Amino acid sequence: MASSVASSAKFVLALIVAACAIFGVGRAIGNSYAFFLGYVVVQYIVLGTAWNILGGYTGYVNFGVTAFFAIGAYSTVALYKLIPAMPLPFMIVIGGAFAALVGLGTGYLTLRLRGVFFSIATLALAVVVQTLITNWDFVGGARGAYVLRPKLAPLMGGEYVQYLFVLMLGLCVIVLATARAIERSSLGYGFAAIRDDEAAAEAAGVPTLKLKLIATTLSGGFMGMAGAPLPYYVTYLDPTSGFNLNYAVNAIAMPLIGGTSSWVGPVLGAVLVGGLQEVLRVTISSAANVLVAGVLMVVFVIAAPRGIVGLFEGKRK
């Protein structure tokens, strides 16, 4: 136990060092485009890892990524209208808490049944949350809402997008550390038992419902946190862009492409697919960049079911 704590501590330290290095390189480049691009990739690492905590570890597919993501984003819009001076980190925590609650509620109602019903419910959840937001005038309704992005970053100076990037990096460290800690704890073994044979796990005394609810809550909460800074990033948020299906497809495609069995997969997937998308967006068209994640996802689930990580690990199973 003590060694696992020490290993986790080392891991977190390594992540922080890596995050600082990445930010240092960004500062050295000093180009705001680098930060805008970096933000998107890191955001997808967070989203993909959050999705993977439920999808990859327990095998329950959440298609309602946009619902959780947008709950985070719109809670920031609402807080911005209520208390404009609130620091963004608080908004992130609150947005995450709302999304976690929704995850818990949806899970509680549907997770007693076969996994597909949960998946279908989450698909429908995305539509219903969008309907609610579209009808909620306080956060802009169908017209959308503007959020003023401050010119300068608080505390550290430089452009505000650098601050957003640092926050997202910090979130990324937390999410990756959590995901790795889960993998190495009894929680992770419980999740894996659910994934491999839920009936047998239940029979062996694994509290499956409780574990599934923990996974949906964590996963939903992190997705909400990933969405919370979005209004400051885009400065104008309307339901069509906040609930864009791209977020869901990317969040699902990236872990599946990278590999769902460990925290490395979503990171690999997000960096590769996110980078490729940016290249395509610049060189070909924005439609092509949207398509690539979907096509890659289908190719990988058919041809390489264990993702890139699986390709390197060889045929262990």
Partner 1 sequence: MDASYDLLLNAILSGLLLGGFYAAVSIGVAISFGMLDIVNIAHPAFILLGSYAAFIGNTYFGLDPILAAVIALPFFYALGMAVYQVYYVAFERRDERSLSSAPRNDQSLRGLSFFFGLLFITEVGLVMIFGVDYRLVQASYIGEKYSLGPIQLPYRLLVPFIVSMVTVVGLQLFLSKTFVGRAIQAVAQDQLALRLMAANPVRIKRIAFGLSIATAALGGAILIIIQSVEPSVGREYIGRVFAICVLGGLGSFSGMVIAAMTLGVVETLTSTLFGPSWAPAVSFGVLLITLAVRPSGILGR
Q: Which stretch binds partner 1 (CB under 8 A): 35-43, 83-91, 168-176, 284-292?
A: 284-292
| Closer residue to partner 1 in complex, CB, 93/200 | 200
| Closer residue to partner 1 in complex, CB, 155/303 | 303
**What are the φ/ψ torsions at residue 236 (nearest 5 degrees)?**
-135, 125
| Closer residue to partner 1 in complex, CB, 225/293 | 293
| Closer residue to partner 1 in complex, CB, 80/247 | 247
Question: In this structure, what token pair is assigned to residue 206?
Answer: 């694994």
What is the footprint of partner 1 within residues 182-221 (CB under 8 A)? 194-200
Q: How far is the CB of 260 from partner 1 (least distance, A)?
A: 7
Q: How far is the CB of 61 from partner 1 (least distance, A)?
A: 5
CA count, 13 A, side-chain hemisphere, 193? 19
Residue 270 engages partner 1 in binding (rule: CB under 8 A)? no
b/e 34-67 (16+ beta carbons within 10 angstroms → b): bbebbbbbbbbbbbbbbbbbbbbbbbbbbbbbbb
Residue 235 engages partner 1 in binding (rule: CB under 8 A)? no
**What are the φ/ψ torsions at residue 316 (nearest 5 degrees)?**
-75, -35
* Sole binder of partner 1 in the list 154, 298, 311, 312 (CB under 8 A): 298
User: Which residue matches tokens 């960096």?
Assistant: 271
Query: In which element (H, E) is residue 237 found?
Result: strand 236-237
What is the footprint of partner 1 within residues 126-185 (CB under 8 A)? 126-128, 130-132, 134-135, 142
| Closer residue to partner 1 in complex, CB, 60/233 | 60
Question: In this structure, what token pair is assigned to residue 208?
Answer: 């499956």
| Closer residue to partner 1 in complex, CB, 22/124 | 124
DSSP secondary structure, 25-55, as one string: HHHHHT-HHHHHHHHHHHHHHHHHHHHHHHH
Q: Strand pairing partners for 145?
A: 237
Q: How far is the CB of 160 from partner 1 (least distance, A)?
A: 32
What is the footprint of partner 1 within residues 69-108 (CB under 8 A)? none
**Which amino acid is residue 176, in one-letter code?**
L
Residue 316 engages partner 1 in binding (rule: CB under 8 A)? no
| Closer residue to partner 1 in complex, CB, 27/114 | 114
Residue 109 CA, chain-centre distance (Å), reads 23
List strand residue ranges (DSSP E) for 159-226, in order: none
Cα separation, 32 vs 94, whole angstroms:
28
The footprint of partner 1 (CB under 8 A) covers: 55-56, 58-61, 63, 109-110, 113, 115-117, 119-121, 123-128, 130-132, 134-135, 142, 194-200, 245, 249, 252-253, 256, 260, 287, 290-291, 293-295, 297-298, 301-302, 305
